[in-house]
């Protein structure tokens, strides 16, 4: 089983739609979680950290479910500029705090 798994997509949605991505992780001791965004041929950029109580940043909401070992990202009112690959990232504390990336979920927002 991969340490971090994501649905690769692509998710094709119209502008204004709400879309949700899920990500599962294998190690229950993992402590820190993040969502990154990566545009084609660019470096990944931190979108948001994921906190235990859930957190929101504008149109983006992240949730953590420790019992089921998954995190989610919800994007409301999708914009064309949201088209990108979204990477789920988990900090593996018991393995020297290495950050493990999921393979990414492709989002395409169309007008």
Using rule CB under 8 A, residue 60 touches other proteins? no
Q: Give residue 40's region: left, alpha or beta (phi > 0; psi -120 to 50).
A: beta
Asked whether position 73 contacts other proteins by CB under 8 A, the answer is no
Round to whole Å and give the CA distance between 27 and 3: 7
Q: What sign results for the dihedral spanned by CA atoms 93, 95, 99, 105?
A: negative
Q: How far is the CB of 92 from other proteins (least distance, A)?
A: 9
Number of residues that bind other proteins (CB under 8 A): 23
Distances in whole angstroms, Cα of residue 110 to Cα of each of 27, 48, 81 = 36, 24, 10
- Interface with other proteins includes 102 (CB under 8 A)? yes
* Conformational region of residue 97, where left means phi above 0, alpha means psi within -120 to 50, and beta covers everything else: left
Of 21, 36, 63, 86, the residue at the interface with other proteins (CB under 8 A) is 36
Which one of residues 17, 64, 100, 106 is an interface residue with other proteins (CB under 8 A)? 100
Binding of residue 31 to other proteins (CB under 8 A): yes
Q: What is the nearest approach in angstroms of other proteins to the Cβ of residue 42?
A: 8
Instruction: Return residues touching other proteins (CB under 8 A).
Output: 31-32, 34, 36, 42-46, 49, 87, 89, 91, 93, 96-104
């Amino acid at each position: 089983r991969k340490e971090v798994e994501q649905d690769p997509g692509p998710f094709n949605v119209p502008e204004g739609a709400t879309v949700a991505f899920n990500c599962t992780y294998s190690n229950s001791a993992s402590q820190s979680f993040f969502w990154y965004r990566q545009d084609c041929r660019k470096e990944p950029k931190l979108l948001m950290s994921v906190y235990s109580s859930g957190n929101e940043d504008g149109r983006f909401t992240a949730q953590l479910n420790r019992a089921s070992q998954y995190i989610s990202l919800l994007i409301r009112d999708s914009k064309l500029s949201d088209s990108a690959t979204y990477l789920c990232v988990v900090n593996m504390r018991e393995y020297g705090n290495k950050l493990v990336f999921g393979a990414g979920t492709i989002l395409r927002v169309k007008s």
